[in-house]
Structure 1
Amino acid sequence: MITTEAQERVRGWFNGRLPEDWKQTAPAITIDRDEITVLLTLPDVEIGAGASAAGAAETRAGRAKAFREDTREQRIAIAREAEHRFERKVSWGVVIGDRSELFTHLASPVMTRLRQPQRQVLDTLVDSGVARSRADALAWCVRLVAQHQDAWLAELRAAMDQVDQVRTKGPVA
């Protein structure tokens, strides 16, 4: 588990390190054991009157692509510094209007042992075309749980933060 203090250190570092024009809105920074994801919010693009939803989506996609290309060297330099400092990979993404796009990011392998009933669930998702593989099906299940249980997961994380705080106040061995 990543402590609140560690999260604040990472957020503080990025807040001080990112160029000012990338911080018109505070970046969303997500941290886990393997990766730091920095999601920057860019100003929405000008959409002409009468533009279709598909046209607006493509305009935003083009703006995201331009930002990715124009800032590549600077993002790589910042990521290298952060990776050395925090011992985690750094991934980037942008939000433009209603479009969110992650650039290259980790897909960490996770080993698990499943009994036949759980494997049958995954196989049903694969056989029905919902997922391409058991790994894809398992990722789909995790996303579904996260989507429907956000409040419970947030409460669980807050409780884990409390446990970490109590541990740090405990006796020293």
Structure 2
Amino acid sequence: MITAEQREQLRGWFAERLPIDVYESLVDVVVDREEITVIGRVPAGESVKEFRARTRDQRIEVAREAESLYRRKVAWGVETDAGRALFTHLAVPVMTRLRQSERQVLDTLVAGGVARSRADALAWCVRLVGKNTDTWLADLRASLEEVERVRAQGPDRATDSMESEEE
């Protein structure tokens, strides 16, 4: 879990390295264990396709540096008046152990044409939960950040266990 402070530091890192003409403004930097997604506003009058072609070399250069430094892949996205569009992002396999009743839900979504596969159906379910529980998830993330902050202020467990062994 990354803290809000770490996320802001990462956002600053990208803001410093991206040439000023890449994005009109840097909107968001989203981080998980595998990937950093950088989202910015496309300059007025420029299409997403034009943006991707114009900024490709610059984005690759910054991504290589970030991937080496942060050990995560870098994905890119844009925000326009029409919404957000992500590109070059990962689709990471996630281990699941679903019971038959849960698999049947996914299979129903596939049979109903909502999804092409169980993986797509599961992604659809996750998006739906995320969309309908934004406030609750934000509260949960904030509480996790507080737990990390408190842990960081606590004693060093490795040092404590070595001292107790010496006694």
Deviations 1:74-94 (A, max 9, x none): 110000001111111001111
Residue in structure 1 matched with residue 29 of structure 2 by the alignment: 29
Question: Is 1:90 aligned with 2:102?
Answer: no
- Secondary structure at the residue paired with 2:25? coil
Q: Following TM superposition, where does structure 1 have runs of at least 4 consecutive aligned residues deviating by more than 6 angstroms?
A: none
Could you tell me which runs of 5 or more consecutive residues in structure 1 were left unpaired when the two chains were aligned: 46-59
Q: Which amino acid aligns with 2:16?
A: G
Q: Which amino acid aligns with 1:26?
A: L
Residue in structure 1 matched with residue 88 of structure 2 by the alignment: 104
The residue correspondences of 1:110-125 to structure 2 (distance < 5 A) are: 110-125=94-109
Residue in structure 2 matched with residue 153 of structure 1 by the alignment: 137
**1:23 and 1:134 mapped to 2: Cα distance?**
36
| Equivalent position to 1:134, from 102, 118, 135 | 118
Q: Tell whether the 8 Å contact from 1:43 to 1:97 is kept in structure 2 after alignment.
A: no
**2:6 and 2:34 mapped to 1: Cα distance?**
14
Give the superposition deviation at 1:7. 1.4
Give the superposition deviation at 1:172. 1.6
Residue in structure 2 matched with residue 51 of structure 1 by the alignment: none
Give the superposition deviation at 1:3. 2.4
Scaled by the length of structure 2, the TM-score of the pair is 0.89
* Structure having greater relative contact order (Cα 8 Å, sep ≥ 6): 1
Residue in structure 2 matched with residue 168 of structure 1 by the alignment: 152
- Secondary structure at the residue paired with 1:95? strand
Q: Which amino acid aligns with 2:40?
A: L
Residue in structure 2 matched with residue 14 of structure 1 by the alignment: 14
Give the superposition deviation at 1:72. 0.8
Q: Which amino acid aligns with 1:130?
A: V
Q: Tell me the percent identity.
A: 57
- Secondary structure at the residue paired with 2:76? strand
Q: Tell whether the 8 Å contact from 2:28 to 2:38 is kept in structure 1 after alignment.
A: yes
**2:84 and 2:5 mapped to 1: Cα distance?**
27
Could you tell me which runs of 5 or more consecutive residues in structure 2 were left unpaired when the two chains were aligned: 158-167
Counting matched residue pairs gives: 157
Give the superposition deviation at 1:23. 4.5
| Equivalent position to 1:71, from 31, 50, 55 | 55
Q: Tell whether the 8 Å contact from 1:44 to 1:97 is kept in structure 2 after alignment.
A: no
